[in-house]
Structure 1
Amino acid sequence: MKAVQIKEFGGPEVLKTVEVDEPFPNENEVKVKVHAVGLNPNESYTITGTYAYNIPELPYIPGYDATGIIEEIGSNVEGFQIGDRIFLSAFSADRNTGTYAEKVVVDAENVFRLPDNVSLIKGAALGIPAFTAYKALFQKAKIKAGEIVLIHGASGAVGNWLVQMATAIGAIVIGTSSTKKGRNLILDLGADHAIDHVTQQNKDKLLSLTNEQGPDIIIEMLANKNLKTDMQIIQRHGRIIIVGSRETIEVDPRNLMTNEAIVTGMTFTSPNEKEMKELTFGLHAFLESGAIHPFIGNKFTLDEPIKAYKNLMESSGNGRTIFVVSEE
């Protein structure tokens, strides 16, 4: 089968399209014919060999998220049948042979039914970004209808899910993007307001949209750049949820003391069984009701891994970058 593989650590240039043997499932695993693959920024870190969450053995086929059709089922697997339409998110899987391939084997517990109203191509927007968005809003921020939520990077792969979910439950949504195209998309997704990224120079714009009170909730995608300002504009008793950061930062905790605000970090890595059940049921309910919709950005084939990775790291506010492996 065709796959994208690395035999050494490095940048995008180490990604090679090769032919490899097909994997086969053990008793608690399923084999999936892949239709589309959603790319994640952390996969670009993994191939460098410096990502603490996952330093793989080589050779290695990257990829955590995909959609496809079940081809084989392990003897202990229940609840699935050959031919089922599924999406998978295998970041925490004990076995994941890599989704950048025509076939993948993964633990059955990391496989989820794809709602009938979501295509196999559009379903590639699910997985880590959608689960991350749900966890940030509902399990960490505990968002309520009528609250004001500021979403940094609201047109990106995680951000667009955040906008749609927060809008769906009646929150007042303010999204940021550095481009006019991104801000237009944020409004199209249902946000009440779309503005440029909030900085020390333009934070008055954000405050004017919140009756000078600031947002109840801030979902932060790049804490090393924005957290200082977040702590100044958050409403009293507000919640800042950090989803991403790339560097260390020095902040003044007195801002949090003054506002009696809370800063919470999170990642979607190893949710417990109760958390995963809520994530799965909640996401399915949103999708099946039509309240939220997958948003796909640029599409590539398995023969274009370097091009896909450059797009993944350089594009801003363009939906999710995917590999299309097999058309429906």
Structure 2
Amino acid sequence: MSVNSIKHVTYNETGAAEVMHFSHSVLPTLKAGQLIIKVHAAGVNGPDIKQREGAYPPPKGASPILGLEVAGEVIAMAKDVSQWQIGDKICALVPGGGYAEQVITYASHCLPIPKGYSFVQAAALPETCFTVWGNLVNRAKLKAGESVLIHGGSGGIGTTAIQIAKALGAKVFVTSGSDEKCQYCLDQGASMAVNYHKDDFVEPILAATHAKGVDVVLDIAGGDFINRNLKVLAFDGRMVSVATQRGAKAEVNIFSIMAKRIQWTGSTLRPQSVEAKADIAAGLLAQLWPLLDAKQVQIRVDKVFPFDEVVKAHHYMESAQHRGKIILQLGEA
């Protein structure tokens, strides 16, 4: 084993969580604009599960190792990196490779750890903050005084979206899969939470908005929720799709889009360009990070697993019991 090798999660074939095991390898050479982070904590996210199952292959040139967000310390930099110093404590969006002792990412995709945050808390921020900000703010243009429906409000994306939408001055409606999860969403700041296993969300939200509907829908569901989203959207409403947990296909009532002048967009984060992700990071640093520093926005960590228990962490994610983020701890908390 090389003295420069790092421990990381790998798998020889796609499949259930048990295919994961540990191996050692050497990091590639740094490219311009990149740095190396000694990882203290890494976030566990839905795309990690899909990649392990073979449904979400990494983009060309990205590390095949799982993990899209980390927190840790800068230990090496390319010569052209000037915004960080060796020893800086940061959190970062990574193109892959987060489930490892060290990871390479772009300096422009890194952010300082907010005041008072541990490595574990900071590792919960990048993937969901980049996703929510890029879609809810940059694409949907959600602003103060508007209303938003957030599906899956108790998960990592949902928890972050509730916090950000509230901070923007929007009224928040959510759906979630149990009464307990709905109560969690209300505790996070939602004005209404609908258990979609028990009730259709359309009528309660239309009633709560005096038949106007919501200005924005942040959709992680897809499938059979799409036409219901169109029903619950107000005139000139915006729908942003970021996942397809209920299916990637839907038979859509196009006339609803036309009649209400609805704008429907969406994105996936990982394949976006280095520059696009850097733009999102700049927006986060300028507008969201001061709120994190001031504790006006607080993203909840649900459960922390030691690095060696990565299989258990994935089982927990798949159980859908979590309320907030799931974190792997590799070093100092």
TM-score computed with the length of structure 2 as normaliser? 0.88
Query: CA separation of 1:79/1:237 partners in 2, compared to 1, >3 Å: closer, same or farther?
Result: same
Query: What is the number of residues matched between the two proteins?
Result: 321
User: Is the CA contact 2:181–2:323 (under 8 Å) kept in the aligned structure 1?
Assistant: yes
Query: CA separation of 1:136/1:106 partners in 2, compared to 1, >3 Å: closer, same or farther?
Result: closer
1:58-97 → structure 2 map (5 Å cutoff): 60-91=64-95
User: Is the CA contact 2:38–2:103 (under 8 Å) kept in the aligned structure 1?
Assistant: yes
Once residues 171 and 247 of structure 1 are traced to their aligned partners in structure 2, the CA distance between those partners, rounded to angstroms, is 28
Map Cα deviations across residues 69-128 of structure 1 (whole Å, 9 max, x no partner).
Answer: 11222332212112111011113xxxx5x1112222333233222122322111111111
Report the counterpart of residue 257 of structure 1 in structure 2: 258
Counterpart secondary structure, 1:204: helix
Choose 193-202 or 154-163, whichever is displaced more: 193-202
Is the aligned partner of 1:134 residue 2:133?
Answer: yes
Once residues 151 and 13 of structure 1 are traced to their aligned partners in structure 2, the CA distance between those partners, rounded to angstroms, is 32
Once residues 198 and 253 of structure 2 are traced to their aligned partners in structure 1, the CA distance between those partners, rounded to angstroms, is 16
Once residues 280 and 25 of structure 2 are traced to their aligned partners in structure 1, the CA distance between those partners, rounded to angstroms, is 35
Report the counterpart of residue 119 of structure 2 in structure 1: 120
Report the counterpart of residue 3 of structure 2 in structure 1: none
Report the counterpart of residue 267 of structure 1 in structure 2: 268
1:65-214 → structure 2 map (5 Å cutoff): 65-91=69-95, 98-197=97-196, 201-214=200-213
Once residues 66 and 241 of structure 2 are traced to their aligned partners in structure 1, the CA distance between those partners, rounded to angstroms, is 25
Is the aligned partner of 1:34 residue 2:39?
Answer: yes
Higher-strand-fraction structure: 2
Query: CA separation of 1:207/1:260 partners in 2, compared to 1, >3 Å: closer, same or farther?
Result: same
1:308 Cα deviation after fit: 1.3
1:160 Cα deviation after fit: 0.8
1:135 Cα deviation after fit: 1.6
| Aligned counterpart in structure 1 of residue 19 of structure 2, from 6, 14, 17 | 14
Report the counterpart of residue 331 of structure 2 in structure 1: 326
1:6 Cα deviation after fit: 1.7
User: Is the CA contact 1:17–1:305 (under 8 Å) kept in the aligned structure 2?
Assistant: no
Query: CA separation of 1:12/1:240 partners in 2, compared to 1, >3 Å: closer, same or farther?
Result: same
Give the root-mean-square deviation of aligned CA atoms. 2.4
Once residues 225 and 122 of structure 2 are traced to their aligned partners in structure 1, the CA distance between those partners, rounded to angstroms, is 31
Once residues 128 and 103 of structure 1 are traced to their aligned partners in structure 2, the CA distance between those partners, rounded to angstroms, is 18
Query: CA separation of 1:115/1:232 partners in 2, compared to 1, >3 Å: closer, same or farther?
Result: same
Query: CA separation of 1:64/1:57 partners in 2, compared to 1, >3 Å: closer, same or farther?
Result: closer
1:180 Cα deviation after fit: 2.0
Structure 2 counterpart of 1:79, one-letter code: Q
1:207-222 → structure 2 map (5 Å cutoff): 207-222=206-221
Report the counterpart of residue 305 of structure 2 in structure 1: 300
Query: CA separation of 1:233/1:318 partners in 2, compared to 1, >3 Å: closer, same or farther?
Result: same
% same residue? 27
User: Is the CA contact 1:22–1:103 (under 8 Å) kept in the aligned structure 2?
Assistant: no
Once residues 132 and 152 of structure 2 are traced to their aligned partners in structure 1, the CA distance between those partners, rounded to angstroms, is 12
Structure 2 counterpart of 1:54, one-letter code: P
Query: CA separation of 1:191/1:300 partners in 2, compared to 1, >3 Å: closer, same or farther?
Result: same
1:232 Cα deviation after fit: 1.3
1:21 Cα deviation after fit: 4.3
Once residues 136 and 57 of structure 1 are traced to their aligned partners in structure 2, the CA distance between those partners, rounded to angstroms, is 23
TM-score computed with the length of structure 1 as normaliser? 0.89
Once residues 201 and 281 of structure 1 are traced to their aligned partners in structure 2, the CA distance between those partners, rounded to angstroms, is 38
Point out where structure 2 has 5 or more consecutive residues left out of the alignment: 1-5
Map Cα deviations across residues 207-239 of structure 1 (whole Å, 9 max, x no partner).
Answer: 111112111111111111311111112111111
User: Is the CA contact 1:176–1:197 (under 8 Å) kept in the aligned structure 2?
Assistant: yes
Map Cα deviations across residues 273-313 of structure 1 (whole Å, 9 max, x no partner).
Answer: 54442244223233123221121122212212222112112
Counterpart secondary structure, 2:236: coil
Once residues 260 and 24 of structure 1 are traced to their aligned partners in structure 2, the CA distance between those partners, rounded to angstroms, is 49
1:247 Cα deviation after fit: 2.3
